[in-house]
Copies of this chain bind each other. A is one copy, B any other.
Amino acid sequence: MGNNFGTLFRISTWGESHGGSVGVVIDGCPPGLSLIEEDIQVELDRRRPGQSDITTPRNEPDRVEILSGVYDGLTLGTPIAMNVRNKDARSSAYSEMKLAYRPSHADFTYDAKYGRRMAEGGGRSSARETIGRVAAGAVARKILKEAANIEIVAFVESIQDIRIPESVIDIDRESVEATAVRCPHPETAKAMIERIKQVRSEGDSIGGTIGCNVVGLPAGLGEPVFDRLEADLAKAMLSLPATKGFEVGSGFSGTSLRGSEHNDIFENRDGQIRTRTNQAGGVLGGISSGESLWFRTAFKPTATILREQETVTSSGEPTTLIGKGRHDACVLPRAVPIVEAMTALVLVDHWMRNAAQNDTFKFGK
């Protein structure tokens, strides 16, 4: 259970690392959208391993195949299934993992829950699982872009204590993609890359935060009271591997302010009702306000490290384990397109939900 996401633009994902394939099916995609495999591939390429010298050197092509739902280059309104074959990679790198639980991985909890697991590569708990999300998210992004020119831009905001200056506000896809670390501020990016390389050389790992801005969103999206826009975004982010926190707008730091400092004053700007500041982060009462949506997600340091760690076997015997294989010392650069994908999925779904209730029957309008 728990492998589907969304209410109207609904996705179901499948696949284990080192299994046959990973994929996704979208149910509810609007018909008539132009869609080719390259639309998907461009986002998968941003996620794939081996894309730069600070990511894992594993080099997987991750080629997507659209299995259904598209005809003559246009979506049909029927389910769009997309599949990515895993390379045959049943290396011996994982043989110890069948016995020993990797610290801060999900080996133990999968065993506790299901009574079994695919040990190789983490199976379903591997970050390869996110391929399906990115593929579906690419479709959602295209809808938002073509229907309403909405831009979703995520970026690496901090790695450990290295943080992009608050003064940096011009963040777009080009500036993000300009560096291997996907931080749009070149000097900060440089420091981050150095840190990643240094930590990797020590066989260790690090984490950080990813920021995300959405520009162009209309007011009115989000369903009070449980399916607030920020609630569904929080769920989307915390559903990603290695995430430990989420904040929208002023977030945790806003708790130090007083109401008189924190409140966003309404004003009439060029005939539109806008707020002078945006501590809210673009949502009021769970509904988008028409201001930019902005939020932040915390990623823990990668659990796999190339150092010896104590642990126990599945039968509880003490043992030690050294991470092998080729891993990211810092997952954040590759997580940027994943954050964007999940954001797009939430937004399209909420757009459709809002329209269903408020635009279908137009009483008193």
Contacts and interface: CB of A to CB of B under 8 A. Distances in A.
A129 B68 CA distance: 11
A71 B310 CA distance: 28
B228 A238 contact: yes
Interface string A135-159: 0000000010011000000000011
A112 B311 contact: no
Contacts of A285: 105-106, 109-110, 125, 241
A89 interface: no
Interface in A107-125: 108-110, 112-118, 123-125
7 contacts: A2-B225, A67-B83, A106-B287, A109-B285, A206-B259, A259-B303, A351-B360
B239 A68 contact: no
A311 B67 contact: no
A278 to B, nearest CB: 11
A25 to B, nearest CB: 5
A143 B257 CA distance: 38
Contact of A146 (B223, B300, B317, B363): B363
Nearest to A157: B255
A256 B161 contact: yes
Contact of A255 (B207, B262, B264): B207
Nearest to A132: B225
Contacts of A66: 20
A65 interface: yes
Q: What is the total number of copies of this protein in its complex?
A: 4
A231 interface: yes
A298 interface: yes
A259 to B, nearest CB: 3
A12 B13 contact: no
Interface stretch (A42-50, A173-181, A265-273): A265-273
A253 to B, nearest CB: 9
A224 B262 CA distance: 37
A159 B254 CA distance: 11
Interface stretch (A28-36, A54-62, A164-172, A183-191): A28-36
Contact of A74 (B12, B116, B251): B116
Nearest to A264: B104
Interface in A272-330: 272-273, 275, 279-281, 283-290, 298-305, 307, 309-312, 316-318
A57 to B, nearest CB: 18
A99 interface: no
Contacts of A238: 228, 230-231, 233-235, 246, 248
4 interchain residue pairs of minimum CB distance: A106-B285, A2-B223, A2-B227, A245-B247
A354 interface: yes
Given A79-B15, A109-B219, A226-B3, A115 B31 contact: yes
Nearest to A6: B226
B219 A112 contact: yes
Contacts of A25: 3, 12, 14, 25
Nearest to A228: B239
A80 interface: yes
A108 B273 contact: yes
A224 B278 CA distance: 34
A96 interface: no
A147 to B, nearest CB: 4
